[in-house]
């Protein structure tokens, strides 16, 4: 047996907890514990389990003593998505995170766009590690989070996320487990998912607490977004709150018209309510900022697009579904992976 694996006796000795209590915590907190390892017909604990058992025990003791602040808080996980690409998701994810941070909310952008993982490019950050390194056990999640502008965190995407989408259940399990840890550290996690109905997009949409759709006045953007919403609806995605941002509009009236059209289609045909989170004007500030590898809310904080983005951040803070802070989005997802339910039916549409 490799010496880094622990038996139940080791765990008892190292934690100082009784075996019955460890068994109880195992059954009560499956999502928080590292998966056990099967070797020679027996299950072994990973060394990391010790810290998890100790943390759970400390929390339970605190709860038993009535310490209210020992109650866990989890980040709000907002997945940003669209029916087609090029509508401004990445710019919105990054600049929203900056505005949330300015409003005092610790924010992290998770780049989950398999097609074009470019959050770090727009932020002017250069990632040192990817999720692949995490899987290889070379780094901890904390090292993966790059410090971005205004103190936001950035987890660069690319091949690592690709690995998550297609990888073995165990790898996905490990990444998701790390994301649960991230949920305890951050207040808002913005997931830039990429467009369409690809497998990884659906994975992340399933994990999220809320979905933010980005559309533009362009008619194909509207129909593609509606198609995605309908497909999600048919796959019985949990009843997530859905917010809408209309990007690249010429006027306020145009934004209102587009938003109303999307919302009334969703209500009439799918019976789903959409929350209007705001709009962003079409403005050259965005591309000027990109050319400088600076987010526009940093490059021109008082520009119209920055003020629009600030308003969206304020709207999203106002419209927070009540239950999110009390439970872990990725923790729920872990349970789905564990129960083998995380595979949704095959997409009926081609991904964009």
Ligand X SMILES: Nc1ncnc2c1ncn2[C@@H]1O[C@H](COP(=O)(O)OP(=O)(O)O)[C@@H](O)[C@H]1O
Place of tokens 């139940």: 8
By CB under 6 A, what part of segment 88-127 binds ligand X? 88-91
Q: How many CA atoms lie within 13 A of 289 on its CB side?
A: 21
Among 87, 145, 186, 244, binds ligand X (CB under 6 A): 87
Which residues neighbour 257 within 8 Å (Cβ) at sequence distance 6 or greater? Answer: none
CA-to-CA distance for 230 and 124, rounded, in angstroms?
36
- Does 283 interact with ligand X (rule: CB under 6 A)? yes
Token pair for 63? 């709860």
Binding segment for ligand X (CB under 6 A), chosen from 183-191, 275-283, 318-326, 338-346, is: 275-283
- Does 90 interact with Mg ion (rule: CB under 5 A)? yes
Residue 121 and residue 157 in contact, taking contact as beta carbons nearer than 8 Å: no
Binding segment for ligand X (CB under 6 A), chosen from 60-68, 133-141, 221-229, 285-293, is: 285-293
Report what 245 binds from Mg ion, ligand X, none; CB cut-off 5-8 Å by kind: none
Q: Are strands 76-82 and 188-195 parallel, antiparallel or unpaired?
A: parallel
- Does 47 interact with ligand X (rule: CB under 6 A)? no
CA-to-CA distance for 125 and 112, rounded, in angstroms?
16
Which residues neighbour 60 within 8 Å (Cβ) at sequence distance 6 or greater? Answer: 25
Token pair for 327? 């439970």
Exposed e or buried b for every residue in 48-61, given b needs 16+ CB within 10 A?
A: ebbebbeebbebbe
What mask, x for binding Mg ion by CB under 5 A, covers residues 289 to 308?
--------------------
| Least gap, CB of 312 to ligand X (angstroms) | 12
Residue among 176 and 193 whose Cβ is closer to ligand X: 193
Report what 82 binds from ligand X, Mg ion, none; CB cut-off 5-8 Å by kind: ligand X
| Least gap, CB of 30 to ligand X (angstroms) | 35
Instruction: Give me the residues that bind ligand X (CB under 6 A), please.
Output: 82, 85-91, 247-248, 280, 282-283, 286-287, 290, 305
Instruction: Give me the residues that bind Mg ion (CB under 5 A), please.
Output: 89-90
């Amino acid at each position: 047996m490799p010496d880094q694996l622990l038996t139940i006796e080791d765990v008892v000795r190292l934690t100082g907890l009784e075996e019955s209590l460890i068994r109880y915590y195992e059954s009560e907190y499956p999502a928080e514990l590292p998966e056990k390892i099967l070797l020679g017909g027996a299950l072994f604990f990973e060394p990391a389990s010790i810290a998890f058992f100790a943390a759970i025990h400390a929390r339970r003791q605190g709860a038993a003593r009535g310490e209210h602040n020992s109650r866990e808080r989890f980040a709000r996980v907002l997945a940003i998505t669209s029916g087609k690409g090029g509508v401004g998701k990445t710019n919105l994810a990054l600049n929203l995170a900056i505005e949330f941070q300015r409003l005092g909310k610790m924010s992290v952008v998770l780049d989950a766009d398999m097609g074009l993982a470019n959050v770090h490019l727009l932020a002017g950050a250069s990632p040192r590690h990817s999720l692949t390194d995490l899987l290889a056990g070379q780094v901890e999640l904390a090292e993966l989070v790059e410090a971005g502008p205004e103190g936001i965190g950035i987890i660069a995407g690319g091949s690592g996320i690709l690995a998550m989408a297609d990888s073995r259940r165990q790898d996905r399990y490990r990444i998701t487990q790390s994301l649960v840890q991230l949920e305890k550290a951050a207040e808002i996690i913005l997931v830039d998912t990429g467009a369409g109905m690809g497998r990884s997009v659906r994975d992340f949409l399933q994990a999220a607490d809320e979905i933010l759709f980005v559309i533009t006045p362009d008619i194909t953007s509207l129909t593609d977004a509606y198609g995605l919403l309908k497909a999600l609806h048919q796959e019985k995605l949990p009843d997530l709150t859905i917010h809408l941002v209309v990007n690249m509009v010429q006027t306020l009236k145009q934004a209102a018209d587009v938003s109303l059209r999307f919302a009334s289609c969703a209500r009439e045909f799918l019976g789903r309510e959409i929350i209007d989170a705001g709009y962003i004007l079409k403005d050259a500030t965005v591309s000027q900022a990109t050319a400088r590898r600076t987010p526009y809310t940093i490059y021109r904080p008082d520009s119209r697009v920055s003020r629009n983005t600030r308003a969206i951040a304020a709207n999203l803070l106002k419209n927070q579904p009540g239950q999110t802070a009390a439970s872990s989005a990725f923790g729920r997802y872990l349970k789905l992976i564990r129960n083998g339910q995380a595979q949704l039916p095959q997409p009926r549409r081609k991904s964009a």
